[in-house]
Amino acid sequence: MTMVYADRGDDAEQIPVRRIKFTINGDKKIAEVEPRLLLSHLIRQGVGLTGTHMGCDTTNCGACTVLVDGKAVKSCTMLAVQADGCEVTTVEGLATASELHPLQEGFKEEHGLQCGFCTPGMMLAAKALLDENPDPTEDEVRWALSGNLCRCTGFKRMFGVEGLSNLAKGVVKIAIVGAAIWTQVWPERGTIGNVLDTSPAGVAGDMSHLLFKVLIAALAALAVIAAGDYFMQRYRFIQRNRMSKQEIKEEFRQTEGDPAVKAKIRQLRMERSRRRMIAAVPEATVIITNPTHYAIALKYESGKMAAPVCVAKGVDALALRIREVATQHDVPIVENPPLARALHATVEVDEAIPAEHYKAVAQVIGYVLKLNGKMRAN
Ligand code: FES
Ligand code: FES
């Protein structure tokens, strides 16, 4: 085997070269290699087997995995001279001329590849595991392949729940079809046993009849399986596409705005409105209370306003604050529980009071104005 090296200005006579012997995929080889040559380069450029891929050159991706004396090795981190006397297996050594290796069949059937770049390394890592442990657990499989990265993620389907459920489905399908065929063949076992005593025409008739029944039974079983599969796929499709609570929240947040932000805005608005109401209390004509829970501040200017206007209203703590401010600014406070409750329920701030309360409010304001007149007279 002739190796070609990069010319780095060295005197060709002085480049140390080692002669190694190794076997690759069953073929015995001799190579003259520089001690610094990587095994991956010997395999790809020296032997010309390019199924061993190079993804990173830094022992991270596992694409260059080969078997050296049966052990999975990342060939980008092993020197060619270390393979002296060893048996190397690359992905090209798995299949025979006529058939794929069972691992290759398995990967193909389970769609365990997409672009295929990582697949040779994955297969050889899997082979090393299975040669040592033919019945590994899922954890053992995951551990054995943990040094091999797949940028396309096709392996999730093989080793995930989906892979297992596909396997189970396949077994159930075979069992159903097999049972359907058995129900037709078993009752006819006597006829089949008598075949030697029957004329060729009779055998042909019996067999075609039996085959027809088997065919119908198999088709019926497949129809049942297809119907079941349809509903199962439909159910899984709906499940897969159903939004989780978190996704619904997130979408609501994106379309409607963050509820926390909205609550904060609402709180700020209420605070602003509260301050505005309290600021209007000193201008009020009268405060009607029930006497402790409700407080309604009304303003009326004779000749300027058609009806009294509510300038502030509140319950409990806010009602208390309205009464305190009213007291500080000598605004009259009149206790009238039914009127206070009715006004609180029917009038909004900055609105005139409804007509049905004109009479009751007029009496209160009349009383207050009379009181103010008396006080001024005194
Ligand atoms: S090329 Fe060897 S580990 Fe990535
Ligand atoms: S199948 Fe593409 S990187 Fe693994």
Predicted confidence band at 197 (pLDDT cuts at 50, 70, 90)? confident
pLDDT at res. 279: 92
Best of 39, 42, 64, 91 for a ligand 1 pocket test (most atoms within 8 Å of beta carbon): 64
Of 136, 156, 176, which one is at a domain's C-terminal end? 156
Q: Tell me: do 109 and 174 sit in the same domain.
A: no
What ligand 2 atom has the least distance to the C-alpha of 150?
A: 4
Of 156, 186, 203, which one is at a domain's C-terminal end? 156
Convert the pLDDT of each residue in 203-238 to its tens digit: 778 778 888 888 888 898 889 888 888 888 888 778
Convert the pLDDT of each residue in 179-195 to its tens digit: 888 888 888 877 777 77
Q: Order of strands across the sheet with 294-299? A: 309-315, 294-299, 286-289, 333-335
Query: 40: CA distance to ligand 1 center in Å?
Result: 9
The pair of three-digit structure tokens given for residue 156, joined into one six-digit string: 């999730």
pLDDT at res. 244: 65
pLDDT at res. 301: 87
Q: Tell me: do 4 and 152 sit in the same domain.
A: yes
pLDDT at res. 70: 95
pLDDT at res. 13: 63
Q: Tell me: do 15 and 126 sit in the same domain.
A: yes
pLDDT above 60 for 22: yes
Q: Tell me: do 13 and 141 sit in the same domain.
A: yes
On whether residue 264 sits in a domain, the answer given is no
Range of the domain at 229: 161-241
pLDDT above 80 for 361: yes
* Single-letter residue type at 166: N
pLDDT above 80 for 239: no
Question: CATH no. for residue 62?
Answer: 3.10.20.30
Q: Tell me: do 146 and 186 sit in the same domain.
A: no
CA distance 301 to 173: 89
pLDDT above 80 for 53: yes
On whether residue 295 sits in a domain, the answer given is yes
Task: Please give all residues whose beta carbon lies within 6 A of any atom in ligand 2, as ranges.
Answer: 113-119, 150-152, 154
CA distance 47 to 28: 11
pLDDT at res. 346: 92
Q: Tell me: do 174 and 127 sit in the same domain.
A: no
pLDDT above 80 for 62: yes
Pick the more confident residue, 3 or 204: 204
pLDDT above 60 for 160: no
Query: 63: CA distance to ligand 1 center in Å?
Result: 5
Pick the more confident residue, 41 or 180: 41
Convert the pLDDT of each residue in 283-309 to its tens digit: 999 999 988 889 999 998 888 888 899
Predicted confidence band at 159 (pLDDT cuts at 50, 70, 90)? low
On whether residue 203 sits in a domain, the answer given is yes
Q: How many domains does the chain contain in total?
A: 3
Q: Tell me: do 169 and 147 sit in the same domain.
A: no
On whether residue 248 sits in a domain, the answer given is no
Q: Tell me: do 95 and 194 sit in the same domain.
A: no
Closest ligand to the CA of 56: 1
Q: Tell me: do 7 and 117 sit in the same domain.
A: yes
Q: Tell me: do 102 and 234 sit in the same domain.
A: no
Q: Tell me: do 126 and 47 sit in the same domain.
A: yes
Best of 104, 118, 148, 156 for a ligand 2 pocket test (most atoms within 8 Å of beta carbon): 118
Predicted confidence band at 376 (pLDDT cuts at 50, 70, 90)? low
Tell me the average pLDDT across 160-171: 68
On whether residue 335 sits in a domain, the answer given is yes
